[in-house]
Chain A
């Protein structure tokens, strides 16, 4: 019984990592949650999770002859967190396809997997988290570029057989009822929440901890809890989880 979500936007700085950590913490109240920094080229989840100084990261798992994923898994904020390192050299030696096995392994032992996804759609490794996910949470800002990139993410997800869990409007200022209503005509799934532009989010980022740890009572935190409540992860699916992810996409020829 696991459901894997990719948190994606096709654009940088929309709040994917902020959302991943916030949704993770909110879901962790009811589920066993694992979050993975699947943005292996531009990792930054470690800075949101108080893990900036750890030795072993996903990079060390994804290299040829790498360490097992447990070595890069940390218990933080009531979740299992798999951060990724920021070294470009390490990224270049990574074999992105191994993410599939890592996800399969983690999936065997958790209820909800959240994959913090890259900000582009221009490479196989950038798109892989969306392919591996059961459902995609599309993070939008109320701007034209962010919404068009969100539409692209949705098309990629649907093309590769992943469903859309819904959209999160982040960095919202003022009343965007009209924008939301119009966007809902194009996006599958509900608007999960509107998260306001928030000093608390900036402050949490500066403190290197997730929003729900730093300012659990803030309106932004409440919005993320609402979004998490609307995700209602599937439980009860008893197929062989590891197998499901390994065969989610056709393996490369040897």
Chain B
């Protein structure tokens, strides 16, 4: 379901906070593969997949238990982990991110997997900011799609400019 991404790093970590924080700071689109260190010794099938949307862990799935969402986070087990981080175009993740059963709440990965309440709060603040940004952007796009409203503003400004030209001594500059 998720195509291969570009490998950014692969290492053994004893805590996930720094990696999750790094993903947040660089607003990463992509995914991480997380497996308990000892799992490497056996099948290698037993791993958690966590996807990121603009740096926020959005979806979790566990290959061993075939469970998704918050239960998948619980299935990942405890550190140290083998941690692999991949970057992927946001579009490639759009479809999986719509799979409700796999979604995790913002901050859940930081809280449950890394035990980092502070980072979880930062993640939630970033999501709230993003929401503000998006609604502002939607408002701007809606405004720009309203051609009549834009024309009204331009016409009114042009009328003002022409009316004031004489008062201000700019008549000579007027475009014919």
Q: A residues touching B (Cβ–Cβ < 8 Å)?
A: 121, 124, 127, 131, 142-144, 147-148, 151-152, 154-156, 158-161, 173-174, 176, 178-179, 182-183, 185-186, 247-252
A-B contact pairs, 28 of them (CB 8 A): A121-B160, A124-B164, A124-B167, A124-B170, A142-B140, A143-B140, A144-B139, A144-B143, A147-B143, A148-B143, A152-B157, A155-B157, A156-B161, A158-B175, A159-B161, A159-B165, A160-B161, A160-B175, A161-B173, A173-B129, A174-B130, A174-B137, A179-B140, A182-B141, A185-B144, A250-B170, A250-B172, A252-B169
Distance in angstroms between the alpha carbons of A235 and B164 in the assembled complex: 33
CB distance from A181 to the nearest CB of B (A): 9
- Asked if A147 and B158 sit within 8 Å, CB to CB, the answer is no
The answer on a CB contact under 8 Å between B165 and A160 is yes
Question: Shortest Cβ distance from B171 into chain A, in angstroms?
Answer: 6
The residue that A151 contacts in the complex, of B136, B154, B160, B161, with Cβ under 8 A, is B154
Chain B min CB distance to A169 (Å): 11
A25 to chain B, nearest CB (A): 28
Name the distance in Å between A197's Cβ and chain B's nearest Cβ: 10
Is residue B133 contacting chain A, with contact meaning CB distance below 8 A?
Answer: yes
Selected from A142, A156, A160, the residue in CB contact (under 8 A) with B137 is A142
What's the count of A-B pairs with C-beta under 8 Å?
92
Is B157 in contact with A249, judged by CB distance below 8 angstroms?
no
Q: How far is the CB of A136 from chain B (nearest CB, A)?
A: 13
B134 in the interface (beta carbon within 8 A)? yes
Known: A148-B153, A151-B150. A178 touches B137 (CB 8 A): yes
* Complex alpha-carbon distance, A71 and B143, angstroms: 47
Q: Give the residue of B133, B153, B154, B173 whose beta carbon is less than 8 angstroms from that of A160.
A: B173
The reply to whether B144 and A186 contact each other, CB–CB distance below 8 Å, is yes
Nearest-Cβ distance from residue A114 to partner chain B, whole angstroms: 20
Q: Please tell me if B145 contacts chain A, counting CB pairs below 8 Å.
A: yes
Q: Is B174 an interface residue, CB under 8 A from the partner?
A: yes
